[in-house]
Amino acid sequence: MPEIDLHTHSTASDGTLSPAELVAAAVAARLKAIALTDHDTVIGLPEACAAGRELGLEVIGGCELSVEFERGSMHLLGLWLPQHPLRLQATLDYLSDLRTARNENIIANLNAYGVDITRAELEDITTGGSIGRPHFAQLLVQKGFAVNFQDAFMNWLRPGTKGYAPKEKLSPRQAIELLKDEQATVILAHPCTLKLEKDETENVLRELKDYGLDGVEVFYSMHTQAQTNFYANLCRTLDLLQSAGSDFHGDNKRGIALGRGKGGLRPSYELVLRMKEARSKLGLQLPLCS
């Protein structure tokens, strides 16, 4: 049985369950710990933490930052963030402003090709969370411009398509240092999306570790067994922590279950204990949410 899920999303970004509903779903799945890691926001942490205390589930406050990377895509998770990370929040507010401008560009691009999508419609879908490309995809499907989410991204929302607008991002070093300033444990999410050869992956991880990276999401929904083994061995070689996450988004990523991913994940709570031990050695406390 899976015991943890350290990579999940709620309606605070682009998931379909509220933070409290996400915690309740984790309890129903009999998980021992869950991390809420919404994209570029911590707005859902107080609700998730309160639900965790009420339902008896260990909730780890976190977020997911997209960072610059030339080849594929690189995302970094910050775990054990405080509910109100003041230093991080200033940067998240800046990123939010950039995201708003990008969304307006995507709307304009789609409108120019006859796709009638408005900001008001997007805001209705998000129910108070931040607007992201999955919300555009949902509207494209609803309005008949795409058959499903994959079709919407492939033909309208990925780089090189009619609706796409680039996203400004932090550098990996900036993001890691920002998260470390909040005493977070920093994890490289889904390393498969880096799209690197094995020797290139090791070189990148060595560089990220020099910046302060703590670990790698070894156990992930889209990793093959060969990839999981490779990343686990690399963590042992480089003395990095191993993490596990499904990247759960609810109905926005159907077929991905909490803790289980596509069905093959069985992450142990032992991974969390090792992270806590590493934090203790560094003199880092656990925020009250935990």
Instruction: Find the mean pLDDT for residues 62-89.
Output: 93
pLDDT for 15 beyond 60: yes
**76 and 204 together in one domain:** yes
pLDDT for 290 beyond 60: no
Length of the chain, in residues:
290
**59 and 102 together in one domain:** no
Report pLDDT digits (tens) over 211-253: 999 999 999 999 999 999 999 999 999 999 999 999 999 998 8
Question: Which residues, including other chains, have CB under 8 Å from residue 264's CB and lie 6 or more apart?
Answer: none
Task: Decide if 205 is inside a domain.
Answer: yes
* Burial grade of 41 (CB within 10 A; 0-12, 13-18, 19 or more): buried
Task: Decide if 178 is inside a domain.
Answer: no
Report pLDDT digits (tens) over 164-185: 998 888 999 999 999 999 999 9
Question: Are residues 133 and 157 in contact, defined by beta-carbon separation less than 8 angstroms?
Answer: yes
**125 and 206 together in one domain:** no
Task: Decide if 172 is inside a domain.
Answer: no
**268 and 132 together in one domain:** no
Report pLDDT digits (tens) over 106-138: 999 999 999 999 999 998 887 666 788 888 999
Higher pLDDT, 84 or 177: 177
Q: Give the distance from CA 53 to its chain's centroid.
A: 23
What's the confidence (pLDDT) of residue 95? 87
Report pLDDT digits (tens) over 31-62: 999 999 999 999 999 999 999 999 999 999 99
- The CATH number of the domain where 29 resides is what? 3.20.20.140
Over the chain, what is the mean pLDDT?
94
**232 and 102 together in one domain:** no
What's the confidence (pLDDT) of residue 114? 93
**275 and 207 together in one domain:** yes
Structure tokens at 278: 């590493």
Q: Which domain holds residue 266?
A: 4-85+184-282
pTM assigned to the model: 0.87
Question: Are residues 45 and 289 in contact, defined by beta-carbon separation less than 8 angstroms?
Answer: yes
What's the confidence (pLDDT) of residue 86? 87
Confidence bin at 70 (pLDDT 50/70/90): confident
Q: What domain count does the chain have? A: 2
3-state SS track over the chain: CCCEEEEECCCCCCCCCCHHHHHHHHHHCCCCEEEECCECCCCCHHHHHHHHHHHCCEEEEEEEEEECCCCCCEEEEEECCCCCCHHHHHHHHHHHHHHHHHHHHHHHHHHHCCCCCCHHHHHHHHCCCCCCHHHHHHHHHHCCCCCCHHHHHHHHHCCCCCCCCCCCCECHHHHHHHHHHCCCEEEECCHHHHCCCHHHHHHHHHHHHHHCCCEEEEEECCCCHHHHHHHHHHHHHHCCEEEEECCECHHHHCCCECCCECCCCCCCCHHHHHHHHHHHHCCCCCCCCC
Share of the chain above pLDDT 90, in %: 83
What's the confidence (pLDDT) of residue 128? 65
Strands 74-79 and 185-188: antiparallel
Phi-psi region of 255 (alpha: psi -120 to 50; beta: other; left: phi over 0): left
